[in-house]
Structure 1
Amino acid sequence: MIELQSSPLMPEKEAELSVMGVWVIGTLPDQKTKELPRAAVQVPNVADELTWWRSKAPESLFSASRTSHGSWVAHDDAFRLSALFDNCYDDSDAAEALGDAVMDRFPPKGDEGLFAAVARKASPFSALAYALGPDAVLRLPGWFGGFLLHAEEVRTQLPAAEKALALTGAQRRAAVERIHRWMTGLGDDPDHDAEELLEGPLRVLRHAARTGQGAAGLVRWY
């Protein structure tokens, strides 16, 4: 089980200071994924907001801070986009109970089958979504960072995830910079590992496909 009230994912000292955004992806034995209840995700109607996001996707939603070198100031559109992501997060009792059951079955910290990103005052998934853009995000498994896949589904959806995440060259550099802007403009995590945010999810999904396991992703605030 992953314990989120203390290390390894959220140090107790940091947990006391402010809200923490968490995105966890882990492998699960295939039989376990089939035994878990599949609660229907409460998907809001965000068609209009997705259209708006597509219109804004090429733009930067942040300006360089005049008072702090290397920091960024969020525009109003950045807050609107953040609200869109948060509204896509299913915090119903059924979803929370399923998330708890899934985390009980994840491998331990340090295992190749586990990826965990934690950020102070910001959601790691939201930072990645801003970096990738709407079309790439919709190619990822599940719904805005949350998913539960058995082994066959992992293999089926892996190529789309690879297309979204396996960035190179200028695309990758731009994504890393966008993650940094989100983590400093909306969050308080200037040293967040942007490279790992791109590589970790794909590493776990590939490991699951290679070993015949299922996989799950959870987005949460603490």
Structure 2
Amino acid sequence: MSVTGVWVVGTVPDAKARDLSRAAVQNTSPAPVSVRRDLPGELAWWRGRARKSLFSASTTVPGTWVAGEDAFRLSAFFDACRDDSEHAEALRDAVMDQFPADADEGLFAAVARKAGPFSALAYALGPDAVLRLPGWFGDFLLDAEQVRAQLPAAEEALAPAAARRRDAVERIHAWMTGLGDDPDHDADQLLDGPLRVLRHAARTGQGAAGHIRWY
């Protein structure tokens, strides 16, 4: 059965973001217990391979990639970082209700067949940059003050220099074809879209949130 991965980032009214954040503190953990226990070891493993490609060029389909064993391990780690408890899913639903209805500056959504867009971005950026992003591996909820405070770190992570950006785009393409079925995924938008939303939230005094969904 085919699955579709989605990463949504959108603005949230500041007061509502604060209300939802209080509910999140009461009902959710920052990560599943098993992941918190294994995180230092998995991060050390990832850092040791962060500069290496986890994919090889396909010999049968030009322009696509084949995932190696380490790519599957990294994908499993990203999946395990996601809290799929009932409380977390209910919070995502509540946040989704606050997002703008139209895809303007305040909303970004990345969709991919058989692959998680945030996982592709995380592989492209590397562990140190990913840990500078808000929240926990793609899931975050910030009020307006927190958006302003965390925007510089997000800009540093999501706006790499030209050479690093070219490498990031290639790595996103490798993930989307080696683990997914989305050779035409817009890698530039995956880098630019979330930062556009965070900057818009900072300019307009709003909160912001992001979350991963699978359908």
Question: In the alignment, which residue of structure 1 is the partner of 2:101?
Answer: 108
2:110 to 108, 117, 127: 117
Alignment RMSD (CA, Å): 0.9
- For residues 28 and 132 of structure 2, what CA distance do their matches in structure 1 show? 19
3-state SS in 2 of match to 1:217: strand
Find the counterpart in structure 2 of residue 97 from structure 1.
90
Match of 2:2 in 1: 18
Distance in 1 (CA, whole Å) between partners of 2:61 and 2:99 is 40
Counterpart residue number, 2:151: 158
SS in 1 for 2:104: coil
User: Is residue 32 of structure 1 aligned with residue 16 of structure 2?
Assistant: yes
Per-residue CA deviation, residues 82-136 of structure 1 (Å, 9 max, x unaligned), is 0000000010000000000000110023221000000000000000000000000
Aligned length: 206
CA drift at 1:40: 2.7
1:176 aligns with 2:176: no
Q: TM-score, normalised by structure 2?
A: 0.94
Q: Percent identity?
A: 72
DSSP-derived class of the 1:148 partner = strand
SS in 1 for 2:160: coil
Deviations 1:113-167 (A, max 9, x none): 0000000000000000000000000000000000010000000000000000012
| Distance (Å, rounded) in 2 between the aligned partners of 1:42 and 1:210 | 28
Q: Which residue in the other structure is 2:178 paired with?
A: 185
Equivalent AA in structure 2 for residue 18 of structure 1: S
**2-structure distance, mates of 1:190, 1:53:** 25
Structure 2: gaps of 5 or more residues? none
CA distance in 2, matches of 1:22, 1:142: 17
Runs of 4+ in 1 over 4 A off after TM superposition: none
CA distance in 2, matches of 1:42, 1:156: 19
Shift of 1:41: 2.7
| 1:177-212, Cα deviation, whole Å (9 max, x unpaired) | 000000000000000000000000000000000000
Aligned twin of 1:208: 201
SS in 2 for 1:209: helix
Number of the residue aligned with 1:145:
138
TM (norm. structure 1) is: 0.91
Cα distance in 2, alignment partners of residues 159 and 192 from structure 1:
27
More helix by share: 2
Q: Tell me the secondary structure at the aligned position of residue 167 of structure 1.
A: coil
Q: Does 64-73 or 102-111 show the bigger shift?
A: 102-111
Q: Counterpart of 2:190? A: 197
The whole-number CA distance in structure 2 between the counterparts of 1:29 and 1:141 is 17
Which of 42, 52, 67 is residue 49 of structure 1 equivalent to? Answer: 42
Does residue 87 of the first structure (1) align with residue 83 of the second (2)? Answer: no
